[in-house]
Structure formats: C-alpha cells, structure tokens
Amino acid sequence: MYVGLIVLGAFVILTIFGVFRRLLAKWEINEPLAVLVSLLMFGGVLITPINIGGAFVFSIGGFLIPFLVCVALLVRAEGYEVARTLVASVIIGIVSAVLRYYFPLEHYMVAVDSGLFVGIIAGGIAFLMGRSRRGAFVSAALGVMLTNVFLFLYYLGQGLEYPIVVGVGAQFSAIVVAAVSAAIIAEVAGEIMEYKRRGETDVMFMNIDEFVNTFE
C-alpha cells in the first residue's frame, strides 16, 4: 500500500506545481479537481475497508473513488474507445490474476510492495491495448480492480471460497501504479509520435524534444 500512497502523494505535489497541467487539460480535468480526488483517495484508503458479508471487501479510497473516476472518463469517450478500453480491462484483469496466482510476491518479497510489480506490467499492457491516454489509464485501473474477481471465479469453479477484495493493501498500489504508468507511457509515446510527424510537441513535464533528437 505504501508505494501507492507515495505515488499518489508525488502526483498531488507535482500537480500543484503545474507539472501535469497540459496532460489533465487534454482529459478536460482541472488541477484543483485532480488534487481533490487524489486527496480523497489518500484519505479513503486509510479508512477501514468495507466488508460485505465476508464475500466482498473494498476500500473507499482504493476502489470506490477511482472506479467512479474511471466511469466519469468513459462517459466522455467515444463508443469504440469505450469498447476497446473494456476489452483491455478484461485482458489486464486476467493477466493480473494469473500473476497473483502463480507469483504470490507478498510471501517472499516482504521488502517490496507486490503492487509495484503488477502495476507496471498492467500499465504496459494497457498502453499496448488502448494506445489512447485516457483508454490506457482507465483500462489499467479497471483491469487491476478485476484481478480478484477472476480469482474468485477460478476458485468458485474449484468449489473453494475466495473473497473479492478490491483496492486494499498491495492491490491499491497496483491500481495507482498501473494507472499512472499507463498514462505516462501513453503520453510520452504519443508525443514522440507527434514530434516525428509534425516536428513539434507540447509536452510540459518532460523534454521530449531533447529526448527524440538523441535518436536522429
């Protein structure tokens, strides 16, 4: 969970200083709203998770708030982008579930938040599947949220009980890292392609011009 809180805190600070101004503008999100939502997530994840009959456990800051953010972003998207994003979310959820099943990192990597590992992989898959900045962000977050849902279905088929736990502990970190890494990868890749096509870029938080020029 700590990795997710650190990443979220860094995002808030950088947003306050205007680092992500243009990126947020492309998503039609103003900076005060982004900071407010991030702070709500930060505070919400510190609240005791809500337990519904022992079968469904979720965190307000780790699941409910980011889920509503994803829904709000999808509402503004075109139909084809929504469909592609949802398909990518399912694929990411399945991959994340397989990773969690075969590599239960929390058992032998105590010093490393397992959410970091799953999050980075999910972020990369989200970009490759969606390509769009918004689609990559949403599919990464939703995909990780679906991880325990697929594990639940697997264990259900085995006749075993498995609670659906969403946005709690390491999964909170995975959701945050996946969404942020997917958005950054999509943004950088998109600006590099734009630079190659038009010879200019409007990225504010990274010097893409200098980066691209090193390959020319």
C-alpha span between 63 and 107 (Å, rounded): 24
Beta-carbon-side half-sphere exposure of residue 149 (alpha carbons within 13 Å): 14
Residue pLDDT, tens place only, 132-183: 778 888 888 998 899 889 999 999 999 888 889 998 887 888 888 888 888 8
What pLDDT sits at residue 149? 92
Residue pLDDT, tens place only, 81-117: 888 889 889 988 898 888 878 766 454 444 345 556 6
C-alpha span between 102 and 175 (Å, rounded): 19
Q: Report whether 143 contacts 106 (CB < 8 A).
A: no
C-alpha span between 149 and 58 (Å, rounded): 12
Q: How confident is the model at residue 68 (pLDDT cuts 50, 70, 90)?
A: very high
Q: What's the whole-model pTM score?
A: 0.81
The helix/strand/coil state of 197 is helix
Strand residues in the chain grouped as ranges (E): 50-52, 56-58, 164-166
* Average pLDDT value for the chain: 79
